[in-house]
């Protein structure tokens, strides 16, 4: 069975690369179109995978595996490597592959108390700090496809990862032990704003002390170490966050993220499986005392 699983993984990697290079499916078409719209092209694509977990079922076997894509992108005179990890689940029945599909983690629904907003607006200790954007980006590069053992790992880990990046840049925690107030993680406890996408979006938009941010009108106004929030369905509840780690040849953000582990990915996410035409964004630039 192990040899069969390895052959399946290698076959699927080859198929994915072919789909992207030959633009065979909707997701690949959106990626190609995104490149065309910004005068970029995918010069070369490669993929490799690993088996994460196997489990026996009543009449078969379930396999969770990851496919790691690397796309060499050329834009003007600039070359860079975009990376993305896709999680998939395959099911074998009587030794034959019967199902293989992408896995989409679900952001838990959290009822955020209005205390979070009231706490942010009320002020209090300003907790002055200088935000080191270089350190935030270095952290995002170090941990984009792995997990710092000093912090708890979540199944939906995008916001936890962004919070770690912001903290690595010097943003101070505050609000412990009230989970509905401030922005913090301590031991096995954390605020909603630390780990839930929509809660961090609310916090960044209202905080007047400690970690603070200012909303800007467009992505080109963001700096390295800034944050983009995504509402894929356009229903007002934001469900993903990324951090800006570089700019492309047009001065537009390239981002790193967890959950859909990504590195140097174009900010708009139009090639994402979660993308819908109703997508909405919020752009936050981190504010600190060195810039005031």
DSSP letter string over 21-74? HHT-SHHHHHHHHHHHHTTEEEEEEEEEEEEEEEEEETTEEEEEEEEEEEEEEE
User: Omega before 284 cis (within 30°)?
Assistant: no
185 close to 163: Cβ distance less than 8 angstroms: yes
Kindly report, residue by residue over 143-184, the tens digit of the pLDDT. Answer: 999 999 999 999 999 999 999 999 999 999 999 999 999 999
**φ, ψ dihedrals at 286, nearest 5°:** -75, 135
Kindly report, residue by residue over 99-153, the tens digit of the pLDDT. Answer: 888 888 765 555 444 344 444 433 445 567 999 999 999 999 999 999 999 999 9
Output the pLDDT for position 116: 45
Q: So what's the architecture of 114-291 in CATH?
A: Alpha-Beta Complex (3.90)
The one-character DSSP state at 174 is: B
**What is the number of other CB atoms lying within 10 angstroms of the CB of residue 59?**
10
| Residue 235 CA from chain centroid, whole number | 19
């Amino acid at each position: 069975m192990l040899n069969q699983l390895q052959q399946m993984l290698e076959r699927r990697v080859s198929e994915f690369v072919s789909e992207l290079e030959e633009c065979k499916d909707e997701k690949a078409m959106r990626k190609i179109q995104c490149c065309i719209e910004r005068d970029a092209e995918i010069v070369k694509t490669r993929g490799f995978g690993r088996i994460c977990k196997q489990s026996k079922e009543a009449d078969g076997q379930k396999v969770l595996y990851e496919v790691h894509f690397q796309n060499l992108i050329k834009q003007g005179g600039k070359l860079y490597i975009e990376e993305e990890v896709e999680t998939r689940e395959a099911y074998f029945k009587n030794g034959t592959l019967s199902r293989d599909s992408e896995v989409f983690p679900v952001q838990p629904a959290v009822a955020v108390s209005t205390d979070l907003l009231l706490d942010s607006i009320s002020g209090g200790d300003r907790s002055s700090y200088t935000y080191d954007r270089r350190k935030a980006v270095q952290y995002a590069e170090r941990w984009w496809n792995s997990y710092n053992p000093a912090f708890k790992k979540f199944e939906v880990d995008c916001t936890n990862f962004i919070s770690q990046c912001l903290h690595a840049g010097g943003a101070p925690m505050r609000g412990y032990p009230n989970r509905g107030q401030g922005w913090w993680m301590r031991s096995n406890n954390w605020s909603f704003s630390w780990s839930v996408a929509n809660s961090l979006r609310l916090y960044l938009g209202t905080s007047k002390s400690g970690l603070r941010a200012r909303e800007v009108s467009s992505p080109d106004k963001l700096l390295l170490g800034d944050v983009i929030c995504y509402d894929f369905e356009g229903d007002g509840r934001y469900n993903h966050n990324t951090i800006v780690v570089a700019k492309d040849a047009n001065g537009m953000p390239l981002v790193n993220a967890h959950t859909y582990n990504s590195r140097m990915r174009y900010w708009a996410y139009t090639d994402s499986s979660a993308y819908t035409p109703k997508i909405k964004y919020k752009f936050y630039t981190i504010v600190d005392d060195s810039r005031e």
